[in-house]
A and B are shown apart, each in its own frame.
Chain A
């Protein structure tokens, strides 16, 4: 166990913590243990001591956020229309922080596994939840930092140190705001539900949040008017509900000395709301911990659930009994594994919303009839963004230790494990999203796009196969700890996402030629059939494990 810089930094605020009734020394010790544990994760259960890589896997994945952060730079360099530019920057920061918070750190907030260890010790509940919060906070600082550090440095050069300071303060408040907001939301949900129902509700809340973030982003953009190349901001009272504007206004007030009432109002909100929410959270923390207990209780008597639809699918699309077993298993896991859902459902929500966002953007300067005659239905390709992230997640499970069964059981055709799981992914997660989108798009664009949609569905399958080969390549499904979900596969996920572009171009090119679309469909169909054989070869069981 060693000294953590983050903890030494926290120690500067010892007085503040004490004021909130938190035993700082105890909190520091808990955090030290947690951070040490984070460093000591060993990749899989089967590897024994062969490969022991120490080091924090999460920190190793931060470069991806750094890469994302490059998007912010043009907005900072653009000019001096701060409310617009910085509003966008903060909208993006919030988006990144929020999605990372929801999918990666909710499990930390909602963790009850160490209750037996920590609750039995003479430490107040308040201190425990503060430790939890800080644990999340430290990581969120890293995420925000990695995302914003380059833009921050560049902003100092472009707009001066005062800008940089304002930016830094804004980032700090944004982060606090998002982390606390998420916690408060969970607190609210925990109050009203319990047991398995609660876990389901939490999943829904996460989907809603992800969708909400994206919709919010749209609303934000809409509060500006684009006149020629100039962006003009015109105030309306409902803009008070758009957090990125608060932070954008902060820059207007500090740097442009724009003291109009609403700017000051926004800027005040940017500072006051995070502080108030922290205060609320500090007051409500004990209730939060108490209610967490509910996650464990499940008193309802359960009946056998009807899985007729899965049965039907298993019969129709699976070849051989072994594949069917794994199809059913994977379908159950996707439906019932909380941690898996935590990670995957937000992605599903985004896959569902993304295509619409682009359509709405089109509607900005065209009428709906104009749009419906065009090619913009191809935006449905964006839902394929969910393929790489979710396929990556198929390797992981909160109950990964149960994975011994894959090796202990006499499985003849190992490839049936993988193909069954991938089929379950397509049927249970991909197709429902795609179908919903297709219905909405057919309604908008007319039945003429049905052949195109069919082609896109085939692309989805082809892409799943490629992604699967690229990312998972014969690791048992649901057999690794989520602790490694972050640190592995980042680059491969990006490559696989970029594939979408290749398909879109192919679709556009062939779609321009007469009967080209049908050629495209034929090629894709062959690719699916051949690809499936290549990715999941039938063979005697491999000797090599």
Chain B
């Protein structure tokens, strides 16, 4: 039941100086998939996403998005992509509506339509009061919502989300989860990275685990479970990344914290 091939990475490598960040990634993504892209800190998740978006160049290998090699220099493929960056980076001195109109227009939307949709979407996210307030006065969660709207405003076919839920409260998280699965059901492809394993387990239909710049596991949650004989994704994650020491580390950590406390 695989649809059209949306994304294809062939032997993708990337190095900063002598440090190899990605050491050969092969990955094909098909329409309608929700891919949870997980891995320990520094595994190269954000780098992969940034390469696919054209934010970083100088990579090795081949990247095809919607069947087009992104090295060809034609940016049109980006029109069908939405992106939420990590750490909610945006032009904070603009108001929510100004920022959304600006990014919407950049993706080729008509100004009036961008404004109309932005305002409607902001209201849905309970941000109706602050439409014309500057992003700099927003809390992290509010800003995250604006960036999520910004990534969806132009109705993209492919979504890249880098830690999309950071800063959101539990209710908002549920809304976003539901939005993602409904979008996927309508044939959108979603590629997101997160450290919240419960969530990845719940909403992804395919999980890709990256360790040291290499894909070490790729499949549905059930497939991963079968392979590793572990119960939860967090445990699978521990096992596949070769990490079994959390108790020992914690113990040592606490001991060190208490060191030299005699005179305090």
Which residues of A pack against B, CB within 8 Å?
Answer: 46, 48-50, 196, 296, 298, 301-305, 321, 325, 328-329, 332-333, 336-338, 397-399, 401-402, 404-405, 407-412, 478, 540-543, 545
- B contact residues around A321 at 8 Å (CB): 105
Is B90 a contact partner of A402 (Cβ separation < 8 A)?
A: yes
Q: With A and B bound together, what is the CA distance between A336 and B89 in angstroms?
A: 17
Which chain B residues (72-117) contact chain A, with CB distance < 8 Å?
72-79, 81, 83, 85, 87, 89-95, 97-98, 102-103, 105-108
- A296, A407, A541: the one contacting B55 at CB < 8 Å is A407
Give 1 or 0 for each of B41-83: 1 = CB within 8 Å of chain A CB. Answer: 0000000000001111100000000000001111111110101
Chain A residue nearest to B75 in the complex (CB): A410
- A contact residues around B108 at 8 Å (CB): 410
Chain A residue nearest to B99 in the complex (CB): A402
Is B91 a contact partner of A397 (Cβ separation < 8 A)?
A: yes
Chain A proximity of B214: nearest CB distance (Å): 20
10 contacts between A and B (CB under 8 A): A196-B134, A296-B137, A325-B106, A332-B94, A397-B91, A398-B92, A404-B89, A408-B54, A412-B75, A543-B72
Is A407 a contact partner of B17 (Cβ separation < 8 A)?
A: no
Chain B proximity of A108: nearest CB distance (Å): 19
Please provide the 10 A-B residue pairs with the shortest distance between their CB atoms, ordered closest to farther.
Answer: A543-B73, A409-B106, A410-B78, A401-B89, A402-B91, A49-B16, A410-B79, A302-B132, A410-B75, A337-B93
Main secondary structure of the interface of B (DSSP, over half): mixed
Is B102 a contact partner of A325 (Cβ separation < 8 A)?
A: yes
B196 part of interface (Cβ distance < 8 Å):
no
Chain A residue nearest to B82 in the complex (CB): A408
Chain A proximity of B20: nearest CB distance (Å): 12
Is A302 a contact partner of B106 (Cβ separation < 8 A)?
A: no
B133 part of interface (Cβ distance < 8 Å):
yes
- A contact residues around B53 at 8 Å (CB): 407-408
B19 part of interface (Cβ distance < 8 Å):
yes
Most buried by B among A48, A50, A196: A48
B129 part of interface (Cβ distance < 8 Å):
yes
- B contact residues around A478 at 8 Å (CB): 91
- A50, A305, A332: the one contacting B132 at CB < 8 Å is A305
- A contact residues around B129 at 8 Å (CB): 301
Chain A proximity of B92: nearest CB distance (Å): 5
Known A298-B137, A325-B105; contact A410-B76, beta-carbon cutoff 8 A: yes
Give 1 or 0 for each of B124-152: 1 = CB within 8 Å of chain A CB. Answer: 00000111111001000000000000000
Is A542 a contact partner of B73 (Cβ separation < 8 A)?
A: yes
Is A409 a contact partner of B78 (Cβ separation < 8 A)?
A: yes
Chain A residue nearest to B77 in the complex (CB): A410
- A contact residues around B57 at 8 Å (CB): 545
Is B55 a contact partner of A402 (Cβ separation < 8 A)?
A: no
Q: With A and B bound together, what is the CA distance between A391 and B121 in angstroms?
A: 37
Is B103 a contact partner of A409 (Cβ separation < 8 A)?
A: yes
Chain A proximity of B48: nearest CB distance (Å): 14
Chain A residue nearest to B94 in the complex (CB): A332
Most buried by B among A48, A409, A540: A409
Q: With A and B bound together, what is the CA distance between A408 and B50 in angstroms?
A: 9
Chain A proximity of B68: nearest CB distance (Å): 12
Chain A residue nearest to B53 in the complex (CB): A408
Q: 17 more A-B contacts (CB under 8 A) besides A298-B133, A410-B107?
A: A49-B17, A49-B19, A302-B95, A304-B97, A304-B131, A304-B132, A325-B105, A328-B102, A336-B134, A337-B93, A402-B90, A405-B90, A408-B53, A408-B81, A410-B77, A410-B78, A410-B106
Chain A proximity of B193: nearest CB distance (Å): 16
Chain B proximity of A504: nearest CB distance (Å): 37
Q: With A and B bound together, what is the CA distance between A398 and B136 in angstroms?
A: 11
Chain B residue nearest to A329 in the complex (CB): B102
Is B54 a contact partner of A303 (Cβ separation < 8 A)?
A: no
- A contact residues around B85 at 8 Å (CB): 404
Q: With A and B bound together, what is the CA distance between A122 and B131 in angstroms?
A: 38
Most buried by B among A325, A329, A333, A408: A408
Q: With A and B bound together, what is the CA distance between A329 and B132 in angstroms?
A: 15
Known A302-B133, A410-B79, A412-B75; contact A50-B17, beta-carbon cutoff 8 A: yes
Give 1 or 0 for each of B235-252: 1 = CB within 8 Å of chain A CB. Answer: 000000000000000000
- A contact residues around B102 at 8 Å (CB): 325, 328-329, 332
Chain A proximity of B17: nearest CB distance (Å): 5
Known A411-B75, A412-B75; contact A398-B93, beta-carbon cutoff 8 A: yes
Is B132 a contact partner of A409 (Cβ separation < 8 A)?
A: no
Is A402 a contact partner of B92 (Cβ separation < 8 A)?
A: yes
- B contact residues around A48 at 8 Å (CB): 16, 56
Is B132 a contact partner of A303 (Cβ separation < 8 A)?
A: yes
Is B73 a contact partner of A541 (Cβ separation < 8 A)?
A: yes
- A contact residues around B54 at 8 Å (CB): 407-408, 545
Known A409-B78, A409-B106, A411-B75; contact A46-B56, beta-carbon cutoff 8 A: yes
Q: With A and B bound together, what is the CA distance between A337 and B136 in angstroms?
A: 10
- B contact residues around A333 at 8 Å (CB): 91, 93-94
Q: With A and B bound together, what is the CA distance between A389 and B102 in angstroms?
A: 27
Q: With A and B bound together, what is the CA distance between A49 and B17 in angstroms?
A: 7
- A contact residues around B130 at 8 Å (CB): 302
Q: With A and B bound together, what is the CA distance between A543 and B75 in angstroms?
A: 9
Chain A proximity of B74: nearest CB distance (Å): 7
